[in-house]
Structure 1
């Protein structure tokens, strides 16, 4: 009987932290601490991550602080590598909203929340994110109707042979699917240091560059203390 009970508990534990189905989609959220409330926001957000742990959330959540760019001082979290159907099975949506209202909303404002699709044929290396200390992020905007041509150029650039002695860059492209203005593409590049972020090689092909209508270049610092990993 004791062995049966132990086996049942192990099975329930594994099911509680079951990994979501893999896929190309990500949710990214940008949060702005209220003036003078940065410390209170971080403490509240960490309490919210404890809520995710307490309800056995099976999703991984990564967190970053913006350190360069016009969103300096803001925070971004994201969950990556999902199938679309996963978003219909988020852990306790009502409880999540209530805990956010209690622990995060008093100290910060949610500025954006978008669902993005990873463009695998335009990317090089393993899909981001990882736990690298820094994340160089560029957001490109193209005009309506130019998305297909832009993506075609990205794929051509990713498959072109390297023509320099430098190590091949690793980068991941995401396209905004829903949650903001159309024609947005996010280039993510994990980097080991601040200096490495300053000296990254260009990966945007010339043909794609000609279609760009706007670009935002930013650097983010990875926050292990503001991230959540389910225990397997």
Structure 2
């Protein structure tokens, strides 16, 4: 099997990564692409009472089992199937069932902290950072966490002030220097998306397996 093209999409919480990821998925088709979300690899907190779970800093790199994600990507690169964890964001625990994943031509990794891990960076062929104003990102995070993850307004704002903003400044924002392409104004930047498409197609065309 040919070595897959590995694409990383990073950016702050609420930056519009999903729009960019969906665009790339449309370019290749879901049958040719596997999406791995860093969020799926949050560490299991079943051993901690719920009242303590909600106090954890989920925006620090240590909250994620990145070493397992790296092992999964390496296995996929070698042609093996893997079992991707499923995470319950309402209860902050890893679910009993997992998602089977098979090797594909393109592996897309997305998450706010994927550029902070050197071993993960070393696996990526294309690195994209989605850059969006802080106020826009906060509004999007509010809407997502309330509608999709059962959080309260006060809970989201408290978490943002304590963890999200300081971790963004310490880890996420500095990591964009590793990007091959930075997309300003999020996923609505059609010119930047066209650049992304051209770069990926160029990488695919000049892959040793395609020569």
Sort the TM-score into its range (normalised by shorter chain).
under 0.3
Greater radius of gyration (CA): 1
| Higher fraction of strand | 1
Tell me: higher relative CO, structure 1 or 2? Use CA pairs within 8 A at least 6 residues apart.
Answer: 2
In the superposition, the TM-score normalised over structure 2's length comes to 0.26
| Higher fraction of helix | 2
